[in-house]
Every structure is written in structure tokens, then in C-alpha cells.
């Protein structure tokens, strides 16, 4: 049986390292080793070859001073967790996506009231204006991507890329409701927001596009 581990631990310990130095003024290296050992003690219960675990980073003054994985990411295949392990954090990513959109707005790269088609022209013209603000607040009326994928015959463990979601959106003929008139949780909206962020921030991955998506990026 395959176990999917979605635990991600991020510790921001801005003052802990300096607190370890004490009056004897230990060197920074010794202090960090002391801190690292204390962190390892906290997560020792996860650091087993037969136990799902986590990854962490200790951050001081904006810099990562310690990072490590504990336990296993896959028990069936004996794959351990490392600092470079990829986690499926699901909807935890939504608040970071919304924050990124607001940062781009503050930089003048977009407006929350922009028509989404200004940035993602593959979204059909439904006769109603869908704004970035609608996407953020789940009031766009767009149909949810997971329901559409189920109807299209996709399986839960299939590899699904942003381009596949965009292809689904581009084929839609109507909305669930007029934008702004109702609230309906929409994963589709946040996938579109992620696409906007990646395009405007210049961080688009080369591995994501399908035919529909790559035609715009060529």
C-alpha cells in the first residue's frame, strides 16, 4: 500500500540560536550545532525507516541555518524524506497564491479588478466579466476542476498539470452562476491565479504546458 505523506514542518526560530550561546560566548558554529541537536531531538520520533515523517527548515534573520528530513516519504519503496522532497500540500497553497497576487498588484503588474482573460486569454468569453478578485474570493462561477476531471475519466493518481486544467477551462461553455452573485469554493480559480503568478513573475516551468497552453507561451 502506498502512503502519501503531506506533512511539511517549517520552523522559524529567529532568536533560538543566539539564546544557546550564553555567557561563555560560544562560536556561531558551536551554537548552531547545539541548536541542530535540540531540533533533532524534537523530531527523533519521526526519524525511523518505517515511519512517515516530515521536512523542516530553521530560519534565523532570513537565512536557513539548518534543514533536514526525518522519516520516510514512501514506506512501500523505502524512500526517505530529504530537504528537497516534494510534498503535496494541496489547498494550503491557496493563501500563498493569494498573497503572491496581492504582491503583484502592489508592484503594479496587475489589478485585482483585471479581467482574468487579460492574463489568461484561454479562458472563454462567457459573456460575463470574471475578475482576479472573483477568483480570490471563490465567486467566479467557474466549474471546479476536480469534478470536471472526474467526468472526463481522469483517475486520482494520474499526473495532472496546470496545462491540463487550462485545457478543461478552455472547453467550458457556461458558468455555474454570474460572477460575484454567489460563492462556491473553486480550485479552478486558484489554478488560474497560480498561472497568472507564474507568468507575471517569469517562473513558468517548461514541463507544464499542453498543446493549448504552450501555444500561448511559444
Sequence-separated (6 or more) residues with CB below 8 Å from residue 27: none
User: pLDDT at residue 136 above 70?
Assistant: yes
Sequence-separated (6 or more) residues with CB below 8 Å from residue 106: none
Tens of pLDDT, residues 2-59: 333 333 344 333 334 444 444 454 556 667 778 788 999 999 998 999 999 899 998 8
pLDDT value for 64? 92
| Average confidence (pLDDT) over 175-182 | 97
Q: 60 or 207: whose pLDDT is higher?
A: 60
Q: 7 or 120: whose pLDDT is higher?
A: 120
180 — pLDDT class (breaks 50, 70, 90): very high
Burial environment of residue 116 by CB neighbours within 10 A (0 to 12, 13 to 18, 19 or more): buried
pLDDT value for 217? 34
> Which of helix, strand or coil describes residue 174?
coil
Tens of pLDDT, residues 70-88: 999 999 999 999 999 988 8
End-to-end CA distance of the chain: give it in Å, rounded: 41
**Beta partners for residue 74, in sequence order:** 79
pLDDT value for 90? 85
pLDDT value for 22? 46
Identify the active-site residue in 91, 93, 111, 147: 91
Q: Is 32 left (phi over 0), alpha (psi -120 to 50) or beta?
A: alpha
Which domains does the chain show, CATH number per domain? 16-80 (no CATH), 90-217 (3.40.710.10)
Query: Is residue 91 among the annotated active site residues?
Result: yes
pLDDT value for 29? 66
Amino acid at each position: 500500500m502506498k502512503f502519501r505523506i503531506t506533512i511539511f514542518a517549517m520552523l522559524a526560530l529567529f532568536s533560538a540560536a543566539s539564546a544557546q550561546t550564553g555567557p561563555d560566548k560560544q562560536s556561531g558554529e558551536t551554537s548552531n550545532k547545539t541548536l541542530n541537536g535540540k531540533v533533532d531531538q524534537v523530531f527523533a520520533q519521526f526519524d525511523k525507516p518505517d515511519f512517515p515523517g516530515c521536512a523542516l527548515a530553521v530560519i534565523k534573520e532570513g537565512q536557513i541555518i539548518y534543514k533536514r528530513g526525518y522519516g520516510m516519504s514512501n514506506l512501500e519503496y523505502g524512500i526517505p524524506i530529504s530537504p528537497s522532497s516534494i510534498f503535496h500540500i494541496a489547498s494550503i497553497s491557496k493563501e500563498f497564491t493569494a498573497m503572491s497576487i496581492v504582491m503583484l498588484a502592489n508592484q503594479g503588474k496587475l489589478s485585482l479588478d483585471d479581467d482574468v482573460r487579460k492574463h489568461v486569454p484561454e479562458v472563454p468569453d462567457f459573456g460575463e466579466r470574471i475578475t482576479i478578485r472573483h477568483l480570490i474570493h471563490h465567486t467566479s462561477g467557474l466549474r471546479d476542476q476536480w469534478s470536471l476531471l472526474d467526468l472526463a475519466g481522469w483517475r486520482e493518481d494520474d499526473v495532472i498539470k496546470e496545462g491540463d486544467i487550462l485545457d478543461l477551462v478552455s472547453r467550458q461553455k457556461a458558468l455555474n452562476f454570474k460572477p460575484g452573485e454567489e460563492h462556491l469554493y473553486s480550485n479552478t480559480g486558484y489554478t488560474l491565479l497560480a498561472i497568472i503568478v507564474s507568468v507575471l513573475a517569469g517562473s513558468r516551468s517548461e514541463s507544464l504546458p499542453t498543446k493549448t497552453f504552450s501555444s500561448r507561451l511559444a
